[in-house]
Amino acid sequence: MVNQSNRVENMPVFGNAITFGNSPALLVVDLIEGFVAQDAPFYTPGIEIICQRVQLLITAFRQHHFPIAYTTVEYQENGIDGGIFVEKIPALRQLVKGSRWSQFTEQVAPDSQAIVVSKRYASSFFGTHLAASLTARRVDSLVIVGVSTSGCVRASAVDALQYGYRTIVVEDCVIDVDQEAHRVNLRDIQRKYGEVYHSEQVLEIIEQLQ
């Protein structure tokens, strides 16, 4: 007879590996002008390289007809729909709906088949239709890229797990202005909420699934 107590004791406390599902979607978090343009309020040096890598993933997902979802951040001009978030980070009020800063960067912009989500807070799921749209497409795994690692990427990864998605954050396709926060949050995501893969691993898996 198997000793169940010993079996539980021998399991890892954190970081047990989860497998990639059979029906993935790509989530492109906030690669909009407000984060990518060099004169943008939230510009992070090195974001150009991130966009190049994300473009490769977008191409692969499109070629194999897997869903792609995009998020933008956009507020009313008075910022009233931003609640305490815009009080904590006043620069967010520059991301006004219809402004340049809320527009998708051309290099990684959505096509007519993409799921496009407008959000006000960090998580791509909070107060949006993202979960319903992914469910309608029978998605079981969510590959997350974009900005920023410690903010919207992490918040989206946590919620993705809580909505039942196998969650993958692509380490060379996310970025943070704080390098220590970037490193620590990737480690924490790997330990508690999902898997952290390199873009080359994701591309290989997508080819195998197809």
pLDDT value at 75 more than 60: yes
144-201 pLDDT, tens digit per residue, is: 999 999 999 999 999 999 999 999 999 999 999 999 999 999 999 999 999 999 999 9
How confident is the model over 119-129, as a mean pLDDT?
Answer: 98
CB burial of 156-182 (b: ≥16 within 10 Å; e: otherwise) equals: bbbbbbeeebbbbbbbebbbbbeeeeb
> What average pLDDT does range 107-125 have in this prediction?
97
| Cβ atoms of 101 and 40 closer than 8 Å | yes
The CATH class that applies to domain 21-209 reads alpha beta
CB-CB contact of 110 with 68 (8 Å): yes
Ranges of beta strands (E only) in the chain are 24-29, 68-73, 115-119, 141-147, 166-175, 195-197
* Whether the predicted pLDDT of 7 surpasses 60: no
Across the range 3-18, mean pLDDT stands at: 64
Residue 152 falls in the annotated catalytic set = yes
pLDDT value at position 17?
87
- pLDDT tens, 132-141? 999 999 999 9
* Share of residues in the chain with pLDDT > 90 (%): 90
Locate the domains of the chain by residue range: 21-209
The catalytically annotated residue of 47, 58, 139, 152 is 152
Looking at residue 15, its pLDDT comes to 76
Mean pLDDT of 99-121: 97
As a whole-number percent, the residues of the chain with pLDDT over 70 amount to 94
